[in-house]
Structure 1
Amino acid sequence: MTVRHYQPGDENQIQELFKKTFRQDRSLQSWSWKFIDNPKQTEPFILLYDEGGKILGHISLWITEAYIGGKKSKVGLRADTMVDPEARGKGIYKKLNDSLLVEAERVGIDYLYGFPAPKAKELFLRYTGAHHMTDMPRWLFIQQPFSLLSTKVSPLSVFKPFDKIYKKFRGPKRIDSDYTFKKINKCDHSFDRLADQVRDHSHVVVVRDSAYLNWRYHDHPENTYDMYGLYEGEELKGYVVTTKEEGKFTNGFIVDWLALHDDVWPLLLQQAFLNLHDADIIQTWCLEHSPPVKALKKQGFVHKDSPMPLVGKEISAHTVGLENPEKWFITPGDVDSF
């Protein structure tokens, strides 16, 4: 019985454990994108609890760079912590977390953070001394109320045409400006410059450079995203990433966005509405103090709830105090599940 690092060939057992734990399938391509293709790491950070050649536990980090106080640091997003349901009660979860802290320090990671489910949060706090920083606010805008209501009360579908009138009055008003939008299929060096320019806008912000953004959005093997860059002449001033989820109704998401100046946020929001013009609802995450909140509130978004906990654990001495959520800039794109 030991905790060891991932070795090539372990992915088959990892996939089986994932399905057994979370009761859902995941393609090998998605696993590889998440753990092998990440441009911010040289090798996957995966620790496994191995008992006689059988993998009974798994803990991993999605390693990336973040500006902390304007300087680049290495941070790790906790992902896919799991223990075989038939092996629980053996202390595997604690052993994995103990090893996680040791190995994170060894490879130079400065801070760990994550968005765990309630039980995982409880155990992570107990075994690592991590902090429950806050619960992520979810902001919601109902764009097509009659279409939305008709999914619950089918006779109301006759009122769907009124959604066009509703959107005309409740949707964003056109903002005249000298900026122009361009659809982005691949991020270039201008995104590196923008990431550097906003390094001091928040005390902690993931480095959203071209390598990260291309991997995160344009190279994703399953999810489809729309990205638009906002330019003044040839200079990039911001970008917005959206996606849609189809079900009983169309759920629109603002997944990620970044702006060089405050006057850019309303323009990015306007573009998001264009991308999501057929969504019944539009939602995003945003900490209450964050710059986009002013634009969201003005447009009529409401703070619906706060369903996702944000937890953090300092590894390096200079990251003590980062448990204050007001120091962070967070978007849904910072989570592996979006």
Structure 2
Amino acid sequence: MAPLTLRAATPADGPGVEALFSATHARELPHPVWQWRYHGRPGSPSVCTVADDGGRVVAHVGTLVSPADARGRGLRLGLWTDLMTHPERRDLGLFLDLAEANLAACRTAGLDLLYAFPNDRSYPLLKRLLGFLDLGDLRAYEAPLSGLRRADAAPAREGLPPAAELDSFWRRARPEHGLALRRDAAWVQWRFALRPGADYRTFHVMDAGRLSGWAAAKFFPAGRVGDVLELWHDGPAAADALLAAAAAWFKERGAETVSAWAGPRDPKAELWESWGLAPRGPATHFVAKALTPAGEAFAADASFWRIGKGDSDVF
């Protein structure tokens, strides 16, 4: 029998990773979604590691790489996702060896910082055995759609604006004192326009011919939840217009609850609260690990992070 091999994943591993996903989660990872997730951004190649047992993928760790803007400088971040070992091969030693191999590959690829939203099973392992720092749970801000407080606003336009407008807007709107994935046109279009089978709705507001804000939303029939995945704006009028557009779409779809994320000290928390949302929804674990000195401050302090549900691959 050939020995178990830890190696970098390749595009040819798609069927094996998809089979592992099905065995681990009892649901499918469609091939177009796998292709989009890990090979859909030529400028930001993913860093993925698999355990190969004689040609069969029995474990996997994926890292989705994105540029980020952090207090006036650029960083390279990785979202750790799809941490899987086959139910027949669950072994802590294998998991740790695979994780360490992926961490080494991420360092070689020049990543500064990793972050993850681990489930209850992997959460303690990442903290105790792999050196991830706990940034506290993200509590979803939620409110009944019928009780949402919002000002009258001119309607936002449906869809995304031109790429040049997204790029220009991000240069103006990126946080000066925090950390956020770079919401340039390449990221926004990959995340919300190119994902196969996703039912996203996007909106934007123009002011005097210039982009003033944009938002992305999704409706989850299970629970009848309308998620505000992204909302970026340069003033309260644009924010109100975007929320009004999202709320109208949620109402059309039959949503009962509106939900959004905000981290500690994120100005969006105040925005959500002004509309009647409160941190009473489900909690999501949030951890980070610095791979270079440039990432250390951000791995240790959640207050730097400007984070939304669009930062997660779940939504």
Query: In the alignment, is residue 285 of structure 1 matched against residue 261 of structure 2?
Result: yes
Aligned-partner Cα distance in 2 for 1:238–1:288: 22
Aligned-partner Cα distance in 1 for 2:175–2:149: 32
Deviation, 1:97, is 1.3
Specify which of 233, 236, 239 is matched with residue 265 of structure 1: 239
Deviates more, 1:106-115 or 1:187-196: 187-196
Deviation, 1:298, is 2.0
Distance change (3 Å), C-alpha of 1:302 and 1:130: same
Specify which of 45, 58, 68 is matched with residue 56 of structure 1: 58
Deviation, 1:306, is 4.9
Identity across matched positions, percent: 20
Residues 182-331 of structure 1 mapped to structure 2, 5 A cutoff: 182-185=157-160, 187-247=162-222, 250-261=224-235, 264-278=238-252, 279-322=255-298, 323-331=300-308
Aligned-partner Cα distance in 2 for 1:190–1:321: 31
Aligned-partner Cα distance in 2 for 1:187–1:80: 32
Aligned-partner Cα distance in 1 for 2:290–2:264: 23
Aligned-partner Cα distance in 1 for 2:70–2:287: 17
Alignment check: 8 A CA contact 2:71 2:176 kept:
no
Match of 1:83 in 2: 85
Aligned-partner Cα distance in 2 for 1:209–1:293: 22
User: How many residue pairs get matched?
Assistant: 309
Matching residue's letter, 1:174: D
Q: Secondary structure at the match of 1:276?
A: helix
Match of 1:3 in 2: 6
Whose radius of gyration is greater, 1 or 2?
1
Deviates more, 1:253-262 or 1:188-197: 253-262
Match of 2:310 in 1: 333
Write out per-residue CA displacement over residues 148-207 of structure 1, whole angstroms, 9 at most, x where no aligned residue.
Answer: xxxxxxxxxxxxxxxxxxx6xx5523147xxx6322246411101111112334421110
Deviation, 1:211, is 0.8
Specify which of 36, 45, 52 is matched with residue 39 of structure 2: 36
Distance change (3 Å), C-alpha of 1:223 and 1:202: farther
Deviates more, 1:181-190 or 1:259-268: 259-268
Unmatched tracts of structure 1, length 5 or more: 145-166
Aligned-partner Cα distance in 2 for 1:288–1:133: 10
Matching residue's letter, 2:276: G
Match of 2:49 in 1: 47
Alignment check: 8 A CA contact 1:19 1:25 kept:
yes
Aligned-partner Cα distance in 2 for 1:336–1:202: 25
Aligned-partner Cα distance in 2 for 1:39–1:135: 32
Matching residue's letter, 2:66: T
Deviation, 1:113, is 0.2
Matching residue's letter, 1:48: V
Query: In the alignment, is residue 92 of structure 1 matched against residue 94 of structure 2?
Result: yes
Aligned-partner Cα distance in 1 for 2:212–2:161: 16
Q: Secondary structure at the match of 1:226?
A: strand
Deviation, 1:4, is 0.2
Unmatched tracts of structure 2, length 5 or more: none
Deviation, 1:276, is 1.8
Match of 1:161 in 2: none
Aligned-partner Cα distance in 2 for 1:40–1:114: 21
- Taking only aligned residues, the RMSD between alpha carbons, in angstroms, comes to 1.9
Aligned-partner Cα distance in 1 for 2:205–2:42: 25
Matching residue's letter, 2:261: W
Distance change (3 Å), C-alpha of 1:262 and 1:317: farther
